[in-house]
Amino acid sequence: MLKHALITPWKVSNNLHKYMCYPLVRLIFQFNRIPWGMKWQFYGVPIVQKHRMSAMHFGDGLQLRSSVRSNPLGPNHPVLLCTWQEGARLEIGNDFAMSGGVLCTAEAIIIGNNVAVGANTTIIDTDFHPLDQTLRKVNKAQGDTKPILISDNVFIGMSCLILKGVTIGEASVIGAGSVVARDIPSGVMAAGNPAKIIRELP
């Protein structure tokens, strides 16, 4: 243990930070009436913006890295969890991991088990604002929304943007810096802007 600490001393401070922020994170989740799971780990304090008439649920093994020091890729802000409108649902399965990203839903974001999301990725199911300028004058907050579904065992690289209405199939990989605006089938690697299938995975 001592040898490991000498080789990677920043991991020691990361773990100390994890234990120090734990009580505050637990209080934030309790205040927002989010059920607490088992084996959760928080490196830094996430931002939680939960509409009182919405639902957030996270499975066991949740790991959120919100501190810039918590990941060598340097998260550029805390993990942000937002249910933006009444009736919105953010539902995440077991063993989900994310570094410095955004999960924002006006309708529904459903994520399966064993999903890993790279640093600084944004997953959002709404346009926020209408594309039609006349509608923006009436209500700036009534952009189109469509649910997002991310299946089990998906890996999403750093700095990706996952847009409304997208389904990502089981065990697929999204390359770093991709913009996913259309469905991705199971068992493939996809990358680019817009993301396209690069190859099938074994």
pLDDT beyond 70 at 146: yes
Phi/psi at 121 (5° precision)? -95, 145
DSSP strands (E only) in 79-129: 80-83, 89-92, 97-99, 102-105, 108-111, 116-117, 122-124
- Three-state DSSP state, 50: strand
Residues 6+ apart with CB under 8 A from 169: 151, 154, 183, 184, 185, 186, 187, 188
What's the pLDDT tens digit per position in 61-110?
Answer: 999 999 877 676 778 899 999 999 999 999 999 999 999 999 999 999 99
Q: What is the pLDDT of residue 138?
A: 66
State residue 20's pLDDT score. 80
Cα separation, 97 vs 115, in Å, equals 7
User: Has 17 been annotated as catalytic?
Assistant: no
Top pLDDT among 131 and 40 is at: 40
Catalytic residue from among 4, 57, 77, 129: 129
The answer to whether 43 and 77 are in contact (CB under 8 A) is no
Domains identified in the chain and CATH numbers: 2-200 (2.160.10.10)
| 39 CB burial (10 A radius; 0-12, 13-18, 19+) | exposed
Check: CB of residue 199 under 8 Å from CB of residue 189. Answer: yes
What pLDDT, on a 0 to 100 scale, did the predictor assign at position 90? 98
Q: What is the pLDDT of residue 86?
A: 94
% the chain with pLDDT above 70: 85
pLDDT for res 186? 98
